[in-house]
Chain A
Amino acid sequence: MTEVKSPEVPAPPAAVPGELTEATSRWGRLRPFLPLVALAVALLLPYSTLHLPGIFEGALNSPGTLQLLAVCLVFGGLAAGYDLLFGRTGMLSFGHALYFAAGVYGTDILITRFGLSLWQAAPLAIIGGTILAGLLGAVALRTVGIAFAMVTLAFAQVGAILVARDFGGLTGGEEGLPLDVAGLPDGLVGVANTVNLYWLALAYLAVVVLVVHRVSASPTGRVLAGLRDDERRIGVLGLDPYRFKLVAFTLAGGLAAAGGVVYCLIVGGASPHITGSELTLSLLVMVVLGGPGTRWGPVLGGIGYMYLDHRLVSFGTSDAVDALPAFLSRPLSEPLFVLGTVFILAVYFFPGGLASLTSRLSLLRDSLRPGTRR
């Protein structure tokens, strides 16, 4: 047997312009600190009186803007929690709204109807939501794939019916249940204290991101990623897929319930539309738009989606849109039409979502730059 060896040709050193390497490496060093910088900016934001016309209605520290931002942050956290199921474990659950609603209505009912204080109600609501997720997950996970999606959808539908029909006079039915502020600490009551709610929402987002990152970096997280890629293989390795999926489902349910508690405080009550399947569908849209299974994609997707959902209403009624012919201006005034269309386009053309945008853009930039070898 003869071994044919081509003579070793030393590869020419890649010609990279000096200023480029400098910038890239500096960027690479800075990158891990970017989330911390973003967190610091978000923490300090309520101290700014900056006006951003067109982006927000009032100054950055006006209560209206802060409330909008707080809702966006909560949904960023919710999307990150949902991604633990969809993006990291590959479970398509259509019932995530149920556990969020358990947090919202649990807090609201315990405070308003039973007169508990927030410090008693919030842990009870979170624990209750987690247990609910564990029990229902134990049943639903006996099915897989599309059947699992259907069962979770049906369970969430029961929750929506229970809330809307007002069994036992607890939920307030179609009108919803405004939160009784007597049970709340003073710092969370009143328009002037919106800033505290904003910080609370930011803390929730930070906790969810931290938990999701810790879990996905742990050995359990590697098993979950394995379940997403090939469930049979995990079974062959001697691990029980059912248990790991139940852990992920329960954890995601608990995170959603905690988000419900914060959301209940921000909007000051509960309304039945948060129990519907539309909420779960919009969580799915957030995760896919942001980039499933990525570190920051779902968070950005959730924040961006909620921001657009609120702001597109005023965009749709603005003069620029009203001046368009009716067949254009009417659909554009429906936020869900715009978001749904963007979502369909994203599924086709940006399968990785927002998070894949940087790598795509750098590819584009490289191919446009003359004289570089790729």
Chain B
Amino acid sequence: MDTIILLTLTGLGLAALYFLVASGLSLVFGLADVLNFAHGLFLGVGAYATWWAAGNLPGAGPDGLGFVVAVAFGVAAGTLMAVLVELVLIRPLYSRTIEQVLVTVGLSLAGVALLQATWGADARPFPRPAWTREVTSILGAQVPNGGLLLIVAALLVLGAILAFLRWTRYGLIIRAGVENREMVTALGIDVRKAFTLVFAIGGAAAALAGSLGSVYFGTVSPQQGGSLLIFAFIVVVIGGMGSVVGSAYAAVAVGLLQQFVNYYGTSGLGDICVVALLAVVLLLRPQGIAGKAVTA
């Protein structure tokens, strides 16, 4: 019984990580039609900025309030990076989808290589508060605190994004833009400001995933973002592109499936089951759990 609880909670921790990456991807794709391969780079930037701040920034540190400052610095760096990428690289290629994908591919190659050139290819130990290394006993299962931190953060981000989308003017524009971008433009609203905004939100969420994920794993490495990104893509497709709630459901399904099958079956089988789930969803319901229909 406690094994099942432990697997459920660690699976949810994984799901939280996927959701943080996938929510931004999904919004960016739903609104701006950009398949963002550079999203893993935002995650890497967030993780390395947190790591750097914990050692070098005055007021920041690996513990207590200093840790919060370090994570905030990492998130700010990821957000800034995402906004710059949108303004400088994506905006000039507006409505040329293939070129946008190509630019983000080039950016992910060059950016990861730059991280690697600056801080080396090997994983580095990540400074983290002592309490994240301990475990909490929940119904007899010993659950690592780092995973619980991820779950709490993902729930907060989910709540914040949903509240933003539902109750603010820009949230309304984004929801309308995902539904029908031409109509929003026709009403005289500059939808490109909303593009920058969703990039900022996505960059912030990915950077948070980067720094909290590094807390969970205990290390930071340049390739971290790339391996998470593929599963985040799968979560986005299963959940339906453009739907934040769909991403949340899909992340939970993918995280739990992966964790349980990897434990009870052979290691690695869970990853394959996730792809099988993707194939089934695409064949039965190509628009995803909660998404609009995907057209060419």
Contacts and interface: CB of A to CB of B under 8 A. Distances in A.
B283 A139 contact: yes
Contacts of B272: 158, 161-162
Contacts of B215: none
A239 interface: no
Contact of B271 (A151, A161, A284, A336): A161
Contacts of A162: 268, 272
B47 to A, nearest CB: 19
A165 B35 contact: no
A264 to B, nearest CB: 23
B106 interface: yes
Contacts of B233: 150, 153-154
Contact of B268 (A145, A149, A165, A347): A165
Contact of A341 (B93, B106, B279, B283): B106
Contacts of B295: 144-145
A9 B67 CA distance: 82
Given A158-B272, A336-B113, A337-B114, A344 B89 contact: yes
B200 to A, nearest CB: 21
A336 B109 CA distance: 6
Interface string B213-256: 00000000000001000100110110001000000000000000
Interface in A143-174: 143-147, 149-151, 153-155, 157-158, 161-162, 164-165, 167
A158 B234 CA distance: 12
A340 B295 CA distance: 30
Interface stretch (A109-117, A218-226, A253-261, A326-334): A326-334
A348 interface: yes
Interface stretch (B53-61, B95-103, B165-173, B188-196): B95-103
A266 B143 CA distance: 49
Contact of B105 (A281, A330, A331, A334): A281
B282 A151 contact: yes
Interface of B is mostly: helix
Interface in A262-289: 277-278, 281-282, 284-285, 288
A340 to B, nearest CB: 3
A365 interface: no
Contact of A277 (B112, B230, B278): B230
A145 B110 contact: no
Interface string A318-359: 000000000000110111110111011001100100000000
A92 B278 contact: no
A351 B271 CA distance: 37
Interface of A: 92, 139, 142-147, 149-151, 153-155, 157-158, 161-162, 164-165, 167, 231, 277-278, 281-282, 284-285, 288, 330-331, 333-337, 339-341, 343-344, 347-348, 351
Given A142-B282, A278-B109, A336-B109, 15 more contacts: A144-B296, A146-B97, A146-B294, A154-B275, A161-B272, A281-B37, A281-B108, A288-B102, A330-B118, A331-B113, A336-B112, A343-B102, A347-B93, A347-B103, A348-B103
28 contacts: A92-B98, A146-B97, A146-B241, A146-B294, A151-B237, A151-B279, A153-B233, A157-B230, A157-B271, A158-B275, A162-B272, A165-B267, A167-B266, A231-B296, A281-B37, A282-B109, A285-B109, A331-B113, A337-B109, A337-B114, A340-B107, A340-B108, A341-B106, A343-B102, A343-B106, A344-B89, A347-B103, A348-B103
